[in-house]
Amino acid sequence: MPSPAHADSPTAQPPGPGAVDALISQARQLRSRVDAVLGESVSDAEDPRLRWQRALCDLAVHQLDDLGTHLGQLREGFALDTPVAALPHGSAGAREADRRFAGAELPDAAAVGALGRAGSAEWDLLTDGAQWSDELYRIFGRSPQDGPLTLDELPSWLFSEDQQLLTEMVTGCLVDGRPIDGEFRIVRADGTVRTVHMVGEPVFDADGGTISMWAVIRDVSDLRRSQRVLRETRDSLERHRQIAQTERRLAVELQEAVLPPWRGGLRFPQEGGATAMDLAARYLPASTSGLIGGDWYDAMQLPDGSSLLTVGDLTGHGVAATSGMAMLLGALRGMAVAGLAPGALMSSLNDLLDTAAQPALGSALCCRYEPAERVLHWAQAGHPAPLLFRNGTGRVLDAPEGMLLGASSGARYAQASEQLFPGDILLLYTDGLVPQRAPHHPTSGGSAERLLAIAPLLNGARSAQDCLRMVAEEFDLPDRPDDACVLIARIA
C-alpha cells in the first residue's frame, strides 16, 4: 500500500487544514458504517463467520478511532501554527476503507490489510489445539511449519512485565467469559520487538461452558511509534515555546531597562535657559512578538553643554541582541561623557564589539550637537545617514566613511559636520523603520526617499512630538517585519 503522501500528491505535500477537516468527516462516516455492520453481526454469536466479521469490525473501530484522534491532533497543530509529526495512516487508507465498507460490505482480510496488519487465532480448550492465520505467523516472525503457539506457550514470547497482563486477560476470558482487549509487546525469534493489540472472546457450548477462545491480533508497532514521536514532538515544541516566552520576557525587560526612561518629548536647554533642542523618539516593535532586536536610540545632554544623539542596530534577536545592545549603549554613553568625538567614539565601539565574547555586527549613528554654534558633528558605522528637513524640503546628509561595527579590527571612522538653523528637523532612524516593498510597488523606493517624501507634512509641525506622530502614522504599520527606532530633533 503506498504511503498517504504518495497516494494524495506527487509532491508528497502534507494536507492543509481544509483537507484534514474533510478526512475527519470521512472517518466519522466510516465509523458510523462500521457500527452498523457491527450491529448486524452480533445477531448470531454461534456463527463463526459472524464472529470473524465482528472481530474485523472491532479492529476497524480501533483503527478509525486512532485515525480520528491523530487527525484531530493534526488539525490542532494547524490551529496553533505548530509543525506536527506526519501520521502513519492517511487519506489513501481512509478512501480504501470507505470503498470496502460502502453499502455495509463485509470486511475481509484485504480490508484489514488496508487498515493495518492483523491476524486471527483460535485456541480449542478441549483438544488443546490452536489455529493461526498466515498473517499472524508473519506478525510473530514464525513459519507455519513451526506451528501455532498454545496458550501456555504464548506468555513466554512477551516482555516479562507484560506477561501478567496477558495471563489476567486470558483467565478472565476463559473463566469469567469476559472479552479480551489489550496490548502487549512480543519478542520475536530474531530479537525484534513488536507491539500487538489483541481483541477476542470465549466460545461457549450449549451448557454455557467455555470450549474455545478466538482472537484478532493486530501489529500496532508503527502506530504506537508514531504516537510516541508525536507526543515527544509536541512536548519538545511546548518546551521551546516556554523557553522562547522566557527569553522574550527577559529581552523586553532588558530593553526597557536600557533605553532612555523618558517618554514623549524632551527638551535640552542651552546657556541662558533657552531651549536648544526639542526631541522625541520611539521604539517600534515588529509585528511578530518574538522578534525583540538590538535596536536602540538615545539622547542626552553632556557636561560641556553639547548634546549626544544616537541610534543603532545590533544584529540578531532575543536576549543575546538586547544584552549586546545594552553593552554598546552603556559604553557609548560613558565615552561621550568623557568627551570623545563621534569618529573616535565609533572606533572605540568597533574595538569593543570586535573583542566581545559573542561576535556580532552592528550599525550605528552618533551625533554631537554644539548649541552655541548650531553645528552637528557626526559619524556613522554602516548606518543610514541623518535626514535634514528645512523649509518643507528634505535631504540626506553626505555620509563620512565608516564600516559596520565588528566587521574589521582596528577600523577608523571619519567625521562630518553640518551647520544647522532654527526650525531645522533632524530624523535619525534604524533601517527597519521603512519596510522594504517589491520593486514594482507604485510607491517603492529606498527608505530615505520615502521618508523625504513627508517633508511637506513636517514643515507644519510645531514640535518634535508632532513630527514623530506624523512619521508613526505613515510608517508604524501593523505588519512590520522588523523592529525599528526613530529619533527626531528640532533645532530651536
What's the pLDDT at 109?
39
What's the pLDDT at 55?
64
What's the pLDDT at 236?
86
Query: Rounded to 5 degrees, what angle do the CA atoms 389, 385, 345 make?
Result: 125
Distance, in Å, from the CA atom of 489 to the CA atom of 469, rounded to the nearest integer, reads: 13
| Residue ranges of E strands in 430-483 | none
Are 313 and 329 in contact by the 8 Å Cβ rule? The answer is no
Helical H segments across 338-378, by residue range: 342-354
What's the pLDDT at 293?
79
The cell numbers describing 84, all together, are 506536527
- Quote the DSSP letter at residue 46: T
One-letter-per-residue 3-state SS of 171-220: HHHHHHCCCEEEEEEEECCCCCEEEEEEEEEEEECCCCCEEEEEEEEEEC
What's the pLDDT at 83?
34
Residue type, 384: P
Q: Can you list the pairs that 235-241 forms with residues at least 24 positions away whose Cβ atoms lie under 8 Å?
A: 237/82, 237/83
Q: What is the dihedral of CA 146, 150, 156, 160, to 10 degrees?
A: 140
Helix (H, G, I), strand (E, B) or coil at 470: helix
Those residues with Cβ within 8 angstroms of residue 116's Cβ, 6 or more apart along the chain or in another chain: 59, 63, 89, 218, 219, 220, 223
Q: What is the dihedral of CA 316, 321, 325, 328, to 10 degrees?
A: -80
What's the pLDDT at 264?
65
What's the pLDDT at 2?
39
Q: Can you list the pairs that 204-208 forms with residues at least 24 positions away whose Cβ atoms lie under 8 Å?
A: 204/177
Helix (H, G, I), strand (E, B) or coil at 91: helix
Spatial CA neighbour of 74 closest among 271, 296, 226, 252: 226
Report the chain (492 residues): mean pLDDT per 10 consecutive residues: 40 61 81 72 53 65 72 61 33 33 34 58 92 93 94 93 93 91 93 93 90 92 84 85 81 79 76 80 77 86 93 86 87 93 95 82 95 95 96 95 92 96 95 66 64 91 91 82 89 90
Q: Determine what percent of the chain falls in helix, strand and coil, rounding each to the nearest 5.
A: 40, 25, 35
Q: What is the pTM of this model?
A: 0.56
Are 174 and 201 in contact by the 8 Å Cβ rule? The answer is no
Concatenated DSSP letters for 121-138?
Answer: EEEETTTTEEEE-HHHHH
Angle between helices 221-258 and 48-79 (to 10 degrees): 10
What's the pLDDT at 263?
65
Residue with cell 478526512: 23
Spatial CA neighbour of 104 closest among 44, 43, 40: 40
Distance, in Å, from the CA atom of 174 to the CA atom of 166, rounded to the nearest integer, reads: 12
Pairing status of strand 387-390 against strand 425-429: antiparallel
